[in-house]
Amino acid sequence: MVRRTVIRILAFILLSALPAAATVDGWPALHDVEGVAADDVLNIRSAPNASSAIIGSLEHDATNIEVIRPTDDLTWGLVNIGEATGWVSMAFLQRHPGQWDGAFPNIRQCFGTEPFWSLTFEPPRVVFSSSETEAREGLISGMHASLARRDRFAFTGAFFPTDAGHRDLHMFVRTETCTDGMSDREYGIAIDMLLTRPTTEGDDSATGLYSGCCSIQPRAASR
Is 133 part of a structural domain of the chain? yes
Total domain count, the chain = 2
Q: Are residues 65 and 163 in the same domain?
A: no
Give the residue numbers spanning the domain of 49. Answer: 29-95
Q: Specify whether 182 is located in the same domain as 117.
A: yes
Q: How many CB atoms lie within 10 A of CB 209?
A: 11
Do 210 and 113 have their domain in common? Answer: yes
Domain boundary (73, 95, 117) is at: 95
51, 73, 95: which is the final residue of a domain?
95
Question: What is the residue type of 123?
Answer: P
Task: Report DSSP state, residue 105.
Answer: P
What is the rounded CA–CA span in Å between residue 128 and residue 25? 30
User: Last residue of some domain: 40, 63, 95?
Assistant: 95
- In this structure, are 180 and 82 located in the same domain? no
Are the C-beta atoms of residues 77 and 67 closer than 8 Å to each other?
yes
Q: What is the pTM assigned to this prediction?
A: 0.84
pLDDT digits (tens, 9 = 90+) for 108-153: 999 999 889 999 999 999 999 998 777 889 999 999 999 999 999 9
The CATH number given to whatever domain includes residue 75 is: 2.30.30.40
Distances (CA, A) of 66 to 151, 161, 171, 193: 18, 34, 21, 23
Q: How confident is the model at residue 92, as a pLDDT?
A: 98
Express each pLDDT in 161-217 by its tens digit: 755 566 889 999 999 999 998 899 999 999 999 987 655 555 545 678 999 999 999
What is the pLDDT at residue 164? 55
Q: Which of 57-66, 150-159, 191-200 has the weakest average pLDDT?
A: 191-200
The radius of gyration of the chain from alpha carbons, rounded to an integer in Å, stands at 21
3-state class of 182 per DSSP?
coil
Q: Closest by alpha carbon to 77, among 63, 92, 62?
A: 92
| Other CB atoms within 10 Å distance of the CB of residue 164 | 10
Residue 174 lies in a domain: yes
